[in-house]
Amino acid sequence: MPIDIQRLRALIRDVPDFPKPGIVFKDITPLLANEVAFSSVIDETVVHFGRGNIDKVVGIEARGFILASPVAYHFGAGFLPVRKAGKLPYQVEAEEYALEYGTATLELHADAVVPGERVLIVDDVLATGGTARAAARLVERLGGKVIGIATLIELEFLEGRKLIEGYEFFSLVRY
Ligand code: AMP
């Protein structure tokens, strides 16, 4: 059955002024709670990158973990957490990045990627693109090849695609 984007859209809730005044937060919890919508989002992502021979799937803390894990399972790939500074216990590679709201640092375990591995990056929202680009750079610094970047939601008006130009990018619901 073809995926019903309008149905997905109806399950994404706008929460104004969260976590800061002026931000409209895209709350995906109603979509995650819906078994048909959740599985179709995972399936569409897997089908899109199906010929990529993915070795590892990176999930970006925290909502990226939820989407990346089942994608990794479908591919028979490993899962790699990219986390905010100070959360990963072992040696890390770190990359500073700009968010839609503020700046932060992302980290990946220094031994997470075997050089030459093919890596897919998954998150919930592409806003300015800074987060996805930082994750891609971390993978590349460890010698991985970024096969693509996938997000459930793309905030097109922020033009995040420009920041990740050159990477294969896939999104399902666009605003
Ligand atoms: P950016 O680096 O600007 O592309 O921001 C993307 C990251 O911030 C993702 O990990 C999202 O989870 C989060 N994010 C940014 N804007 C929003 C938003 N409006 N609603 C929910 N999450 C957001």
Tens digit of each residue's pLDDT (9 = 90 or more) over 77-133: 999 999 999 999 999 999 998 776 678 999 999 999 999 999 999 999 999 999 999
pLDDT given for residue 134 in this prediction = 98
d(CA 5, CA 142): 36
- Tell me, in angstroms, the distance from the centre of ligand 1 to residue 130's CA: 9
Query: Does some domain include residue 21?
Result: no
pLDDT given for residue 90 in this prediction = 98
- Work out the average pLDDT over 17-46: 97
pLDDT given for residue 101 in this prediction = 63
Is 154 touching ligand 1 by the criterion CB < 6 Å?
no
Domain count, the chain: 1
Query: Does some domain include residue 112?
Result: yes
For residue 35, which phi and psi values (nearest 5 degrees)? -65, -35
Atom of ligand 1 nearest to the CA of 63: 12
Q: For residue 96, give its domain range.
A: 49-174
Closest CA to 87 of 117, 120, 65: 65
Query: Does some domain include residue 81?
Result: yes
Query: Does some domain include residue 108?
Result: yes
pLDDT given for residue 138 in this prediction = 98
Per the model's pLDDT, the better-predicted residue between 20 and 149 turns out to be 149
pLDDT, tens digit, for every residue of 128-167? 999 999 999 999 999 999 999 999 999 999 999 999 999 9
With beta carbons less than 8 A apart as the criterion, state whether 60 and 106 touch: yes
- Tell me, in angstroms, the distance from the centre of ligand 1 to residue 43's CA: 22
Please check the confidence at residue 18 and state whether its pLDDT lies above 70: yes
Is 112 touching ligand 1 by the criterion CB < 6 Å?
no
d(CA 174, CA 171): 7
* Helix residue ranges, H only, 49-171: 63-75, 130-141, 160-163
pLDDT given for residue 13 in this prediction = 98
Is 128 touching ligand 1 by the criterion CB < 6 Å?
yes
d(CA 103, CA 96): 7
With beta carbons less than 8 A apart as the criterion, state whether 141 and 173 touch: no
Q: Output DSSP code: residue 100.
A: T
